[in-house]
Each structure stands twice: as C-alpha cells, then as structure tokens.
Chain A
Amino acid sequence: MKFAGVRAVSVWLGLQLLAGAVCAESTQDFSETPFEQLVQRDVVPASKLAQQVSDSPSAVAIVTAEDIRAYGYRTIADVLNSMRGLYTTHDYRYEYMGGRSFGEPGDYAGRIMLMIDGYATQDSLFNQAYVDHSGLIDLDLVERVEYVPGTGSVTYGSNAMLGIVNIVTRQGRAFNGTQVAGEVFSHGGKKERLTYGKRFENGADVLFSVSALDTNGRNRYFPAYDTPATNNGIAEARDWERNKRLFGKFSYEGLTVEAAYVDRNKAVPTNPSYYAAFNSLFAIRDENAFLNGRYETDLGLSLYSSTRFYYGQYTYDAFREFADDSDGEKYGQRRFDGKWWGLDQKFVGNWFKDHALVFGFEYRNDYRQSFNWRYLSAAHETVRTVQEDYARRTFSLYLADEIRLSDRWSLNLGVRYDDAGDLAANWSPRLAAIYRPTVETTWKVSYSEAFRMPNANDRSTYGAMAAPEYVAATELVLQHEFSPRMRFTGSLYRYKRSRQLAYSPVADDYVPEGSSTSRGLEVELERSWESGIRVRGSMAWQHASDVRGAQLANSPHVLGKLNLTFPIIVDQWRVGLEGQYLGSRLALLQEEMAGTVPDQKRLGAVALANLTLSSERKWYGLSASFSIRNLFDRRYEVVSPFDWRPASDIPQDTLRMDGRTYWFQLRYDF
C-alpha cells in the first residue's frame, strides 16, 4: 500500500514517455536555421505573471510586494492566508500555519520552514515559524513571498518537512531614500516605522529599518469561564501586544550581510493551563534575532560558490499566576533560551552540458537549548526551579543533479545526508521528472522523503520516546500558460507520514509508532491585464488523517481563495478585494472528565472578505493605505489548542475571532 502512489506515478510516467515518443520531438536548436528565417518567426512571449525563483518541482505560490500593498497585508500570516491551500489559526498567543497535512492545534508550526533570504528562521527549541507580530520582518520590507508546498529536506534537511515559506527582502534601491510610516488600527493599535534604503554608485546597497507596534487589544469573552468567580468569562485588558523590530542589510559585489531582531511582548487572554488563574496576567515574550552573512562568487566559468555563515538566537519568557497556591507556588516563570550558529558551503557545477550539479555541506551547532522553570511564592520569592539543557550538532552533505534529457524532458535527482550527534544519520532523497510537451505546458512529477528531528521541546516533553518522524510525498503538478497573462496551476498530492508520536494505552505513554495519510487536489487560475487588473482564484480539496486514522483536527476539507485588484480614479488609487473560504473542520477531541464523555465539535464553514484601498501614486512624497478586514463583520470561531475543561465543565474547544477591523497607514518618502 505504501508504494501504491509511487507505482501509479511510474505507470503515469511510462504512459507520458510513450506519448512523448509518439509525438515527433520538435527541436529548439536553431544553429542550422538561417538568421534571416529566425527573425521572421513568431515567439510565445515570456509570462508577465510572477515566476518562481526556487527550482522546486512543486506548485509554488507567489505573493509579490505589489500584492502586499494592494491587499494591505501586515503579517506573513496575512500573506499565507491568501495562498492556495493555506490558512492560519490564531489562539491569541501566536498565529499558526495550516495546510497540507498540518495545522493541528498544539503542533506549533514546526514542520514548516520559514526562510528569510535563505536563512531558516525557526527557533531551535520549538522549531516554530513565527508568522505574526512575533515574526522577524516588517512586510513593507518584503519583495516577495514564495510558498513551496511539500518536502524540502533534500535541500534544507530537518524541518523542511511539509512546506517552505521563502521570504525575499527588498533592496535598498527600492526605497532610494528615507521612508517614515505611521499606522493606526482597531483596538487602540498604532505602529511607526522608519526605513532608509540606498544604492550607491559603486554598487553597494544598504537597507535599514526600525519599527515599533503597540496595541491594547480588547476585553475578550470566554464562555467556559462565565462564572462570577472568574469575572463572568471576561479577560479584562489582557490582550495587549507590543513589538520592536530592527532590520539591516548591506550588500556589495557578492557579499551580503543581513541582521534582524524582533522583541514581541503579548498578554494572553486565554488560560494556558488547568492550574493557571483566569483573567490574571499571563504575559509572553518572544525575542528572535539573527545574523546571516553570505559570499557568492564564480570560480571560473563553470563553478559557482556560495559560502554562508549564520548565527541565531531565541528567548521565550512567560509569566503566569496559578489559581491554587496551597503548595506555596503562586506564580510560574519560564525562560527558554536557544542559541545556534552554522556554516553552509554550496557549489553549483556546470561542467557537463546537460547537467547542473549542486553539492555542498552544512554544519550547524545548536550549542544552547536551555529550559528554565521558576516557581515563586505570593511574595515573589523563588520556591523551586527546574533547569534542563540540551545541545545538538548536525553535519550534512547534499548533492543534486538537474539533468536535461531533451528539449522536453528533464530530471531532478537529489539526496541529502544529515547526521546529528544524538540521532541515527538520515538520508532524504528526491526524484522528479519535468516534462514540457509545449512551450506553454509543464508537467512535474516527484517523489521525495523528508524528516524532522525531535527538537529540544520534544526531548524535554517525551524523553526517550522523542524520535525523528518522516514523510514520503508524491506530487503531480500541471502548469499551463494560456497566455503570458493567464496561468493555470494544478497539483495532486499524497503524503504518507510515519513514526509520529501517538498515545499507546499499552505503554501508557507516547510512542513514535503513529502514521497518517493526506491527499488532496489544488487548482489555481491567475490572470492579469495590461490595465492593471489582477485576479487570482484557487480551490483546495484535502483529506488529512491523524495517527488514529480519524480526520485531522483543524484541517478543512475545502479551502477557497479569491483575490481581485484593480485601479480606480484614473489610476490614482487601487482597490484590493479578497475572499477566503474556510471549510468545516473538527475541533480537538475534548478530554474525558468526571461526568462527561469525550466529544469533538465540528466548526461550520466560514467565508471572509477583506477590502483595501491604497494609493498608486505619491503626492509630495505622501502615500496611504486603508483596509477593512472581515468586511461583513462575520462572527466566527476557530479551533483552540485546549482539550481540557475548566471548573464550569464547558469545553473551550473554540475561540471567537474579531469581527470587522480597520487599519490605516500613511507613508512619507523623502
């Protein structure tokens, strides 16, 4: 059964090969054609739509700086929500990504890789991809976001298991001066940003940006706490959020040095555990920073080299109050700390006519993975501390070859070897075939395997049971360009995950023996017009199961997206209209408690709309954007990460989201 998909794909490949052989191979080699004849021939103009940068054989989704402006995106989560087959879930702490085979609450976003200019941003403790205001980058500094669905372990190793988000930052020359921006938004929010960008005569490019965000949030109501003892379910003034960001980039010749820093403080209105007190201060702090230096050069005509050094760090602080302090512990304080550095040397060799060889090695040292729990008395004296420390060194080798078989066929073969000191070594292979029967049509079929090492949090939580988990993915992609301004993308996939942690009643513990399957189909149509109108619509159907074989929680069967933008008032302004459909999905199975049976709620489907108006031109350096999110004020809920009931016995398996909210940004360039 495991290889049924692969077998089907090989049969399909065989059929296509046959079809390819039957059709006469038209040659694109014009070395024998007289130039006089060539200049008379019509060409199929190159696509005017955004093209993927990464050479992945999957169906990449792209959002550009123009889209970010047109649709008023403020966080990476907003961008992801507009992409085919993706959605995010907010629990008032973080925004979590959901997509093919992932999105289960409590999972963090750790099976997705989030990269900024080639640097993997996830922390070394939870491997969380920060896509909200705790993320590293202001969207005004983003040139494009690419989402590569599926596995990427062949290139990036552990964690690039179910998808890769690639963020490419803008060049200083895109600003060419100083920009100040001020924002106000619903619930007492404001943000300021100062950016300077410049390209100098000698080719050096500089970008520097600093920003601060501050919002009060609002009083939030939680039905499960609707008792007089717990403030009738209202968490009062416990929803504020603040962040500070710094970003700098310098590039000259082949050298690029980039650094980013974010410090996000958030009050969390939800109650994090059974023992914590509702409507008491539960504040978390996420501090992320990195330094990434890269030197790229050509060593002769056939060998390209990219040398990269990176350093990253992450700190998590949390403070909470317990409802019951009879054991003398009134407050809990957590401080988790991660530090790492790494070196990556990549070569691309073009020595052979029909081969492009990529090879190299990476060394990564997660030298600090520290967890500290401190329990304080009512008088704020330390009663008890728990300290755990972990570390990991990983050495990796990789090799890939892009083979051109003919004008129509090419193969992409690759393998990566990862050896972490504390785990058995692992090989991640990928095989892909790309077939271009015509100039406009591309077929891609791939089989790949990826893995994820247990992170420090897994090692702390599951001890000896923490083990690597795996996925084997088969995907078929069709891209067809009806015209340079209209493109269809379709994707059919099947993921088989294995060695997942699953609860075993026999062992009375979590054991790495679970497996699950996901399959789905995604289609997307994209079109633009010379007049500046752009439209993109997509549908995704998916069926994902969990380790019990049941439908995966928080994984809708259907997702739909529609984005439309067009200029108005003689091209002075632009309207961006966005529709998102999130199909019905299951909440977490609620734990059995005295007097209750386990149950699982199904949340109804919801359709949301967002509207943005942005200026296309600057008047005396001024430009502006205005957005309304949840335009029709839909009341809707999302799946919560909680599977336990508070004293009221009412489950808290869903969380109510915001109704209509507003956002206004004013920019001044000088």
Chain B
Amino acid sequence: MRIFFLLFSIWLAGGVLADSWGDRPDRVAEADMKAAYIYNFGAFMEWPESNRISFNICTLGDDKIGRSLKRYEGKLLSNRRVVVARLNSMAAISDCQILFVGENEVPNLGRIANELSQQSVLTVTDAPILSQVGVVITLVGQRLAFEVNLDYCKRANLKPQSNLLRLAKSVRKSD
C-alpha cells in the first residue's frame, strides 16, 4: 500500500513536472530535428539511377540520431523505400545512400572518404569538418543550420536541388 502511495505521488509530481516544463508541443529534440534534416537531404537531392529497391540511410557512431531516423523507415525517397541502418563498422558503408557520421567516428572520416571514393553516398556529420563530407549540420543558437560541400557532391555525382542550396547557411565551392 505504501509503495503504491509513493508511486502515485511520484506520478502526480511527474504530471506537475511535465505540465510546467514540458507542455510545449512544438519543442523538438536536437536529435529528432537532425533526423528530419537528414530525411530532407534525401528528398532535396537528385540521386543517380539505381536498381536498388531500398533507399538506405545509415548512421555510424551515433545511436541517438539512428533511433530518431527509424520513424522515417518505410517512407519513399527517390521512389524507393527508406531503410534505416544503425551501423557499427565500416563494413557496409558503401551500401548506404546517406551516411551520418557521429562524433565517435569523426577521426575515421578520412578513411571513410577513401573507402567511398566516388560512390554516390552523401556523408553528413555534425562536427565542423566540411572539407571531408557532403553536408555539415550545426547548432546555431536554438536552431539547426547546415552547410553544403558542392565539391564533394560533384565528386559523388550528387546534385543538390536549388531549394536545398537556398536554405543552406553556406555552400562550399572551389571554383
């Protein structure tokens, strides 16, 4: 009985907590928004012809964003079903269309770039290293912004739509 009473009061307290701090339905966690950005990068990119049946969005070294991405599984991108893969190694990265590289794997970015070479894989990260990836997502104040590396996209045979470039904070282009 006592434990029930305790649980009940905690439930009540939890309700109060949720009301006072949490009742802002438009609040979105950083990881959830990054997942939404990544999904949109897929939508605003022109992908080369492929005979794959699925559109693979992968994460490497960041489980949180991988979890958030899961809710986009089964949606259609480039007329293909989205599959989300939370990878733990570099073994399967060339099967991805989008590869998000988390903080833990940032030291391996050079090797990832080598491995992918000129394959059409869009690499995304949230570390400020635009030179080695296609897109960098950054937190600016309370909002997310992103930068696009056109040189990378060109090498990977990816064409970002003008809408995407318009929304980007900056676009890197060597010529």
Q: Which of A243-300 contact B (CB under 8 A)?
A: 253-254, 296-300
Stretch binding the partner chain, chosen from A1-9, A379-387, A504-512, A654-662: A1-9
Known: A19-B15, A29-B71. A38 touches B10 (CB 8 A): no
Q: Is B3 in the interface zone, CB < 8 Å from A?
A: yes
Q: Which of B8, B24, B29, B30 has the most CB of A within 10 A?
A: B29
Q: Flag B105-123 by CB within 8 Å of A: 1 or 0 each.
A: 0011001000000000000
Q: Which of A5, A8, A40, A490 has the most CB of B within 10 A?
A: A8
Contact between chains at B27 and A33 (CB < 8 Å): no
Contact between chains at A354 and B70 (CB < 8 Å): yes
Nearest CB of A to B11, in Å = 6
Q: Which of B39-60 contact A (CB under 8 A)?
A: 39-40, 43-44, 56, 58
Contact between chains at A46 and B31 (CB < 8 Å): yes
In Å, the complex CA distance between A416 and B174 comes to 56
Q: Is A35 in the interface zone, CB < 8 Å from B?
A: yes
Nearest CB of B to A26, in Å = 5
B40: which A residues are within 8 A, CB to CB? 30, 35, 38
Contact between chains at B3 and A478 (CB < 8 Å): no
Q: Which of B3, B6, B95 has the most CB of A within 10 A?
A: B3
In Å, the complex CA distance between A202 and B30 comes to 33
In Å, the complex CA distance between A438 and B143 comes to 18
Q: Is B26 in the interface zone, CB < 8 Å from A?
A: yes
Contact between chains at B111 and A46 (CB < 8 Å): no
Which residue of B has the minimal Cβ distance to A483?
B21
Task: Name the contact of A353 in the complex, choosing from B25, B70, B143 (C-beta under 8 A).
Answer: B70
Q: Which of B73-100 contact A (CB under 8 A)?
A: 73-75, 83-92, 95-96
Contact between chains at A45 and B139 (CB < 8 Å): yes
Interface size class of A (residues with CB under 8 A): 35 or more
Contact between chains at A8 and B139 (CB < 8 Å): no
In Å, the complex CA distance between A297 and B83 comes to 19
Contact between chains at B18 and A28 (CB < 8 Å): no
Contact between chains at B167 and A39 (CB < 8 Å): yes
Interface size class of B (residues with CB under 8 A): 35 or more
Known: A11-B4, A407-B71. A44 touches B29 (CB 8 A): yes
Contact between chains at A29 and B167 (CB < 8 Å): no
Contact between chains at B111 and A440 (CB < 8 Å): no
Q: Is B32 in the interface zone, CB < 8 Å from A?
A: yes
In Å, the complex CA distance between A53 and B70 comes to 19
A480: which B residues are within 8 A, CB to CB? 17, 21
In Å, the complex CA distance between A382 and B109 comes to 64
Contact between chains at B29 and A46 (CB < 8 Å): yes
Task: Name the contact of A298 in the complex, choosing from B84, B87, B111 (C-beta under 8 A).
Answer: B87
A482: which B residues are within 8 A, CB to CB? 21
Task: Name the contact of A30 in the complex, choosing from B25, B39, B58, B139 (C-beta under 8 A).
Answer: B39
Contact between chains at B85 and A296 (CB < 8 Å): no
In Å, the complex CA distance between A440 and B22 comes to 7
In Å, the complex CA distance between A39 and B88 comes to 30
Contact between chains at B26 and A35 (CB < 8 Å): no
B130: which A residues are within 8 A, CB to CB? none
Nearest CB of B to A6, in Å = 10
Known: A8-B4, A300-B92, A301-B58. A35 touches B167 (CB 8 A): yes
Q: Is A459 in the interface zone, CB < 8 Å from B?
A: no
Which residue of A has the minimal Cβ distance to B54?
A301
Q: Flag A299-340 by CB within 8 Å of B: 1 or 0 each.
A: 111101000000000000000000000000000000000000
A353: which B residues are within 8 A, CB to CB? 70, 73-74
Nearest CB of B to A226, in Å = 47
Task: Name the contact of B36 in the complex, choosing from A30, A202, A253, A476 (C-beta under 8 A).
Answer: A30
Contact between chains at A36 and B167 (CB < 8 Å): yes
Q: Is B7 in the interface zone, CB < 8 Å from A?
A: yes
Task: Name the contact of B83 in the complex, choosing from A301, A437, A476 (C-beta under 8 A).
Answer: A301
Counted as pairs of residues, one from A and one from B, with CB atoms less than 8 Å apart, the total is 163
Task: Name the contact of A443 in the complex, choosing from B14, B21, B37 (C-beta under 8 A).
Answer: B14
Contact between chains at B64 and A441 (CB < 8 Å): no
In Å, the complex CA distance between A203 and B109 comes to 10
Known: A254-B89, A298-B87, A298-B91. A476 touches B37 (CB 8 A): no
B83: which A residues are within 8 A, CB to CB? 301-302
Contact between chains at B71 and A39 (CB < 8 Å): no
Q: Flag A21-47 by CB within 8 Å of B: 1 or 0 each.
A: 000101011110101101111111110
Nearest CB of A to B115, in Å = 11
In Å, the complex CA distance between A325 and B91 comes to 67
Known: A42-B142, A199-B107. A441 touches B14 (CB 8 A): yes
Which residue of A has the minimal Cβ distance to B26?
A41
Contact between chains at A43 and B92 (CB < 8 Å): no
Contact between chains at B33 and A441 (CB < 8 Å): no
Task: Name the contact of A33 in the complex, choosing from B6, B36, B164 (C-beta under 8 A).
Answer: B36
Nearest CB of A to B174, in Å = 25
Task: Name the contact of A438 in the complex, choosing from B27, B71, B96 (C-beta under 8 A).
Answer: B27
Contact between chains at B26 and A494 (CB < 8 Å): no
Contact between chains at A298 and B89 (CB < 8 Å): yes
A440: which B residues are within 8 A, CB to CB? 21-22
In Å, the complex CA distance between A15 and B8 comes to 9
Contact between chains at A439 and B85 (CB < 8 Å): no
Task: Name the contact of B144 in the complex, choosing from A12, A39, A173, A297 (C-beta under 8 A).
Answer: A39
Q: Flag A219-261 by CB within 8 Å of B: 1 or 0 each.
A: 0000000000000000000000000000000000110000000
Nearest CB of A to B12, in Å = 10
B14: which A residues are within 8 A, CB to CB? 437, 441, 443, 478
Nearest CB of B to A254, in Å = 5
Q: Is A492 in the interface zone, CB < 8 Å from B?
A: yes
Known: A31-B72, A441-B17. A9 touches B7 (CB 8 A): yes
Known: A31-B72, A38-B37, A441-B18. A301 touches B56 (CB 8 A): yes
In Å, the complex CA distance between A494 and B6 comes to 12
In Å, the complex CA distance between A529 and B127 comes to 21
Nearest CB of A to B36, in Å = 4
Which residue of B has the minimal Cβ distance to A480?
B17
Contact between chains at B18 and A438 (CB < 8 Å): yes
Contact between chains at A439 and B28 (CB < 8 Å): yes
Q: Is B156 in the interface zone, CB < 8 Å from A?
A: no
In Å, the complex CA distance between A645 and B3 comes to 41
Q: Is B171 in the interface zone, CB < 8 Å from A?
A: no
The 3 A-B pairs with the shortest beta carbon distances in the complex, nearest first, are: A438-B22, A301-B85, A30-B36
With contacts A35-B44, A42-B143, A353-B73 known, what are 6 further pairs, Cβ within 8 A?
A15-B11, A42-B26, A299-B91, A301-B95, A438-B22, A478-B10
Contact surface of B with A, Cβ cutoff 8 Å? 3-4, 6-8, 10-11, 14-15, 17-18, 21-33, 36-37, 39-40, 43-44, 56, 58, 64, 68, 70-75, 83-92, 95-96, 107-108, 111, 139, 142-145, 163-164, 167
Question: 23 pairs across A/B with beta carbons < 8 Å?
Answer: A11-B7, A28-B32, A30-B40, A35-B40, A35-B44, A36-B167, A38-B37, A39-B143, A41-B28, A42-B26, A44-B28, A46-B29, A46-B30, A173-B107, A203-B111, A254-B88, A296-B88, A297-B91, A407-B71, A437-B22, A438-B23, A439-B27, A519-B3
Contact surface of A with B, Cβ cutoff 8 Å? 4-5, 8-9, 11-12, 15-16, 19, 24, 26, 28-31, 33, 35-36, 38-46, 173, 199, 202-203, 253-254, 296-302, 304, 350, 353-354, 404, 407, 437-441, 443, 476, 478, 480, 482, 490, 492, 494, 519
